[in-house]
Amino acid sequence: MAAINPTAGSNLNSTPAPKQQTLSSNYIDFTSSSTEGWAQQYLPDIIEKEAEVFGNRTISGFLSQVGAEEAMTADRVIWSEQGRLHISVTGVSVANAGTITGATNHGVRVGQTIVLSDGESSPTITKCYVSAADSAAGTLTALPYAVATVGAVSGFVTTDDDAAARCSFFVYGSEFKKGDSGMSNAVTPQHKSHVNKPIIIKDKFEVSGSDASAIGWVEISGEEGQNGYLWYLKAEGDTRARFSDYLEMACIEGELGVPGSSAVDSELSGAGADFGTEGLFAAINDRGHVTSGIVGTSAADDLGSFDNILKKFDGQGAIEENMLYCNRGVSLAIDDMLAAQNSYGAGGTSYGVFSNDEDMALNLGFSGFRRGSYDFYKSDWKYLNDASLRGQVDGDYNDVRAVVIPAGVSTVYDESLGRNMKRPFLHVRYRASQSDDRRMKTWITGSVGGNITSDLDAMEVHYLSERCLVVQGANNFMILN
């Protein structure tokens, strides 16, 4: 029998976002339950405390756990990441005579030795000596050690036999005759620079002078510590909490503006590349890895998908400790995958620690595990589960189900400081100077609340921040769609 999804009640409190409306649903009265209304003989028992039916509604805290914050004064943050140490080229063509083409700027020099593969599903490899090389033209000539030509290597598929350019090679050394001159030319280390820019995030709360004096009937509380009976303080506290979430979500969901797009050209009239910022998801999709595995079909399939993730990480930084932030579906799939490896007998449940008595509690969840040489620490990410955020689009193939983030720090060259720096893989940069700190600014305007700045009969609370996210070493990140 297929799994059954829960259904919602007809009056479920599931409003995804607050609205600035005066409705009967947000006005406390007795007319709906009594024909006498406020004139009834017996006063009802009013529960003063506002029920927190959604628990802790904020989602911020993810970046503070896995990253850091640092001030900046420029309009851009630029950092450089190391290139590969060894010379390796993929997707080239190899003729029977050993002529390799399509290896643009390969950096291989005469006298070096390579391991050449035909790139088939069951590849054939051969060791070769490089007799000629033109890095600018992307060509070189490989002479096999074992046979006369590459085409004579048993089982090797060249482009003379198959036009697909899927061969690859890597340099493993060099060899010279006695009395030969030294190596010609030199290999210049390569690095790749990345850039991101901060965006300005704003919000505002406003209450009129008349409404500011109204006392509410319901005692309230909230994530930011707001408590009391004045409803406008509750609204201000909610606005602040929502803005704090925006500061994190903007760094997670941000997209760089593309000239020609409607958002850039119509809204900022030619701002071009100055519009938008690269968030976490965009950085991983652009410079990291993406998988659709670990879907809960079976423990064996999910374990195979996880092993493929490990193989991908083996080819990158091979960072031992990683954080896995996932939604409920991925979390349960991993629990089931691990439980299947740890159980015995038909339907066995050997996992968990408990006393074997009638009051035992079986632990069916796992917070961490080790596979191969990697340690993974699993944590539910509320942002991916919240019904008013990413949980709203659950089930869409393009939806984010989990992210794998390396723990620790990376070493990169900071072009603004001119030296190598060790920083967390994720860190937030915000604009700040001696005169203005834009990490989280707030100020009050109007003529209400004791702070008179204008003749406006209202109190306006303004919020502003200017920040961006720096994702270093995105090749060590993975996103599960």
- Check whether residue 167 and residue 261 sit in a common domain: no
Q: Is the residue at 302 inside a domain?
A: yes
Among 244, 194, 234, 187, CA closest to 211: 234
Question: What tens digit of pLDDT does each residue of 332-346 get?
Answer: 888 888 877 765 544
- With cut-offs at 50, 70 and 90, classify the pLDDT of residue 291: confident
Question: What pLDDT is stored for residue 353 in this prediction?
Answer: 47
- Check whether residue 240 and residue 379 sit in a common domain: yes
Among 142, 157, 177, the domain boundary falls at: 177
- With cut-offs at 50, 70 and 90, classify the pLDDT of residue 59: low
Q: How many CA atoms lie within 13 A of 351 on its CB side?
A: 17
Among 453, 330, 320, 477, CA closest to 405: 477
Above 60 in pLDDT, residue 46?
A: no
Per-residue pLDDT, averaged over 21-45, amounts to 50
pTM: 0.74
- Check whether residue 71 and residue 124 sit in a common domain: no
| Gyration radius of the chain over CA positions | 31
More confident residue, 209 or 345: 209
Question: What pLDDT is stored for residue 57 in this prediction?
Answer: 63
Among 177, 210, 226, the domain boundary falls at: 177
Question: What pLDDT is stored for residue 145 in this prediction?
Answer: 93
Q: Is the residue at 469 inside a domain?
A: yes
- Check whether residue 97 and residue 52 sit in a common domain: no
Q: How far apart are CA 433 and CA 328, in angstroms?
A: 42
Per-residue pLDDT, averaged over 302-313, amounts to 86
Question: What tens digit of pLDDT does each residue of 409-428 get?
Answer: 655 555 555 656 566 788 88
- Check whether residue 399 and residue 473 sit in a common domain: yes
- Check whether residue 77 and residue 92 sit in a common domain: no
Q: What is the mean pLDDT of the chain?
A: 76
- With cut-offs at 50, 70 and 90, classify the pLDDT of residue 10: low
- Check whether residue 53 and residue 99 sit in a common domain: no
- In this structure, the chain runs to a length of 481
Question: What pLDDT is stored for residue 144 in this prediction?
Answer: 92
Q: Is the residue at 12 inside a domain?
A: no
Question: What tens digit of pLDDT does each residue of 122-153 get?
Answer: 899 999 999 999 988 999 999 999 999 999 99
More confident residue, 152 or 208: 152
- Check whether residue 172 and residue 208 sit in a common domain: no
Question: What pLDDT is stored for residue 346 in this prediction?
Answer: 46
Among 177, 199, 223, the domain boundary falls at: 177
Above 50 in pLDDT, residue 186?
A: yes
Q: Is the residue at 325 inside a domain?
A: yes
Per-residue pLDDT, averaged over 224-244, amounts to 67
- With cut-offs at 50, 70 and 90, classify the pLDDT of residue 272: very low
Above 50 in pLDDT, residue 472?
A: yes
Question: What tens digit of pLDDT does each residue of 90-104 get?
Answer: 899 999 999 999 988
Q: Is the residue at 272 inside a domain?
A: yes
Per-residue pLDDT, averaged over 223-243, amounts to 66
- Contact in structure between 113 and 128 (CB atoms under 8 Å): yes
Per-residue pLDDT, averaged over 308-323, amounts to 83
- With cut-offs at 50, 70 and 90, classify the pLDDT of residue 74: confident
105: domain CATH number is 2.40.30
Q: Is the residue at 23 inside a domain?
A: no
Question: What pLDDT is stored for residue 310 in this prediction?
Answer: 87
More confident residue, 159 or 259: 159
Question: What tens digit of pLDDT does each residue of 159-176 get?
Answer: 888 888 889 999 999 999
Question: What pLDDT is stored for residue 7 in this prediction?
Answer: 47
- Check whether residue 415 and residue 387 sit in a common domain: yes
Question: What tens digit of pLDDT does each residue of 361-420 get?
Answer: 556 667 888 888 888 888 888 888 887 788 776 554 458 889 988 876 655 555 555 656
Q: Which domain holds residue 447?
A: 46-83+189-344+366-481
Query: Which residues does residue 85 pair with via DSSP β-bridges, in sequence order?
Result: none
Question: What pLDDT is stored for residue 415 in this prediction?
Answer: 52
- Token reading at 426: 């994720």
Question: What pLDDT is stored for residue 342 in this prediction?
Answer: 64
Above 90 in pLDDT, residue 464?
A: yes
Structural domains counted in the chain = 2
- Contact in structure between 52 and 237 (CB atoms under 8 Å): no
Question: According to the 3-state scheme, what is the secondary structure of the chain?
Answer: CCCCCCCCCCCCCCCCCCCCCCCHHHCCCCCCCCCCHHHCCCCCCCCCECCCCCCCCCCCCHHHHHEEEEEECCCCEEEEEECCCCCEEEEEEECCCCEEECCCCCCCCCCEEEEEECCCCCCCEEEEEEEEEECCCCEEEEEECCCCCHHHCCCCCCCCCCCCCCEEEEEEEECCCCCCCCCCCCCCCCEEEEEECCEEEEEEEEEEHHHHCCCCCCEEECCCCCEECCHHHHHHHHHHHHHHHHHHHHHHHCCECCCCCHHHHHHCCCCHHHCECCCHHHHHHHHCEEECCCCCCCHHHHHHHHHHHHHHHHCCCCCCEEEEEECHHHHHHHHHHHHHHHCCCCCCCCCCCCCCCCCCCCCCCCCEEEECCEEEEEEECHHHHCCCCHHHHCCCCCCCCEEEEECCEEEEEECCCCEEEEEECEEEEEEECCCCECCCEEEEEECCCCCCCCCCCEEEEEEEEEEEEEECCHHHCEEEC
Q: Is the residue at 107 inside a domain?
A: yes
Instruction: Give the C-alpha distances (Å, rounded to integers) separating 290 from 285, 325, 403, 479.
Output: 7, 14, 9, 5
Q: Is the residue at 452 inside a domain?
A: yes
- Check whether residue 336 and residue 218 sit in a common domain: yes
Question: What pLDDT is stored for residue 258 in this prediction?
Answer: 76
- Check whether residue 286 and residue 400 sit in a common domain: yes
- Check whether residue 75 and residue 116 sit in a common domain: no
